[in-house]
Amino acid sequence: MTSAPSDAPRRPVLLTVDDDPGVSRAIARDLRRQYGEDYRVVRAESGSEALEALRELASRGESVAVLLADQRMPGMSGVEFLEQAMDLFPRARRVLLTAYADTDAAITAINTVDLDHYLLKPWSPPEELLYPVVEELLATWRASGDAPVDIIRVIGHRWSARSHEVREFLARNGVPYQWIGADDPDGARLLEACGAAATDVPVVLTPGGEPMVSPSVTELADRVGLPTNPATDFYDVVIVGGGPAGLGAAVYAASEGLRTVIVERQATGGQAGQSSRIENYLGFPDGVSGAALTDRARRQAVRFGAEIVTTREVVGLEVVGARRGVRFADGSCLQAHCLVLATGVQYRLLGADGVEQFVGNGVYYGAALTEAADCSGEVVYVVGGANSAGQAAVYLSRFAARVVLVVRAESLVSSMSHYLIEQIAGIDTIEVRTRTAVSGAGGDGHLERVTLRNLDSGELTESPASHLFVFIGAQPLTEWMDGVLSRDERGFVLAGADLMHEGRRPDGWEPKRDPWPLETSVPGIFAAGDVRSTSVKRVASAVGEGALAVTLVHQYLERL
Domain span(s) for CATH 3.40.50.2300 in the chain: 13-144
What pLDDT was estimated at residue 77?
87
Q: Kindly report, as residue ranges, where domains of CATH 3.50.50.60 are found in the chain.
A: 234-346+475-558, 356-472
**Residue 187 CB partners (closer than 8 Å, separation 6+):** 155, 180, 181
505 versus 277: the higher-pLDDT residue is 505
| 540 φ/ψ angles, rounded to the nearest 5 degrees | -60, -40
Percent of the chain at pLDDT exceeding 70: 94
Distance from C-alpha of 19 to C-alpha of 33, rounded to nearest angstrom: 21
Distance in angstroms (rounded) separating the CA atoms of residues 430 and 391? 12
pLDDT for 214 beyond 70: yes
Angle at 326 between CA 322 and CA 327, to 5 degrees: 125
Q: pLDDT tens for residues 99-112? A: 654 555 655 666 55
CA angle 556, 559, 548 (to 5 degrees): 20
Q: How confident is the model at residue 541 (pLDDT cuts 50, 70, 90)?
A: very high
The pLDDT of 70-86, averaged and rounded, is 87
The whole-angstrom separation of Cα 424 and Cα 433 is 12
pLDDT value of residue 111: 57
Any bridge partners for residue 327, and if so which? 316, 333
* Host H or E run for residue 317: strand 314-320
Q: State yes or no: pLDDT of 146 exceeds 50.
A: no
pLDDT higher than threshold 70 for residue 3: no
In this predicted structure, which of 291-300, 379-388, 458-467, 532-541 has the lowest mean pLDDT? 291-300
pLDDT score of 413 more than 60: yes
**What whole-number percentage of the chain has pLDDT above 90?**
63
Tens of pLDDT, residues 251-289: 999 999 999 999 999 999 988 888 877 888 888 776 777
Say which amino acid occupies 478. Answer: T
If one compares 148 and 415, the residue with the highest pLDDT of the two is 415
- Provide the mean pLDDT of the chain: 89
Class at the top of the CATH hierarchy for domain 234-346+475-558: alpha beta
pLDDT at 150 over 70: no
Contact yes or no for 342/532 (Cβ under 8 A): no
Domain at 152-224, CATH from 3.20.20.70, 1.20.58.1610, 3.40.50.2020, 3.40.30.10: 3.40.30.10
Q: Is residue 173 over pLDDT 90? A: no
Q: What is the pLDDT of residues 25-58, one digit of tens each?
A: 999 999 999 999 999 999 999 999 999 999 888 7
Query: Edge-to-edge strand order for the sheet containing 467-470?
Result: 363-365, 467-470, 379-383, 402-406, 430-433
Longest dimension (CA), the chain: 87
> According to the model, what pLDDT value does residue 145 have?
52
Intervals of CATH 3.40.30.10 along the chain: 152-224
CA 245/CA 549 separation, integer angstroms:
9
Q: Are 415 and 409 in contact (CB under 8 A)?
A: yes
In Å, how far from its chain's centre is CA 242? 11
pLDDT at position 7, please? 40
For residue range 236-246, what is the model confidence (pLDDT) as tens digits?
999 999 999 99
Beta strands 323-328; 314-320: pairing state: antiparallel
pLDDT band at 80 (very low <50, low <70, confident <90, very high): confident
What pLDDT score was predicted for residue 132? 87
- DSSP type of residue 366: S
Q: Does residue 365 contact residue 389 with C-beta atoms inside 8 Å?
A: no
Beta bridge partners of 278: 288
Which pLDDT score is estimated for 149? 43
Q: Which residue has the higher pLDDT, 215 or 5?
A: 215
Q: How confident is the model at residue 175, as a pLDDT?
A: 81
Q: Under 8 Å CB-to-CB from 134, ≥6 apart: which residues?
A: 14, 31, 34, 35, 66
pLDDT value at 230 more than 70: yes
Could you tell me the CA-to-CA distances from 147 to 132, 150, 342, 349 in Å, in that order? 21, 9, 45, 47
> Is the confidence at residue 148, as pLDDT, over 70?
no
Closest CA to 113 of 89, 144, 138: 89
Return the CATH number of the domain spanning residue range 356-472: 3.50.50.60
pLDDT digits over 517-528, tens only?
999 999 999 999
The superfamily CATH assigns to domain 13-144 is Response regulator (3.40.50.2300)
Cβ neighbours of residue 178 closer than 8 Å, sequence gap 6 or more: 110, 111, 151, 152, 153, 154
Q: What integer pLDDT is reported at residue 13 of this predicted model?
A: 94
- Provide mean pLDDT across the span 375-387: 94
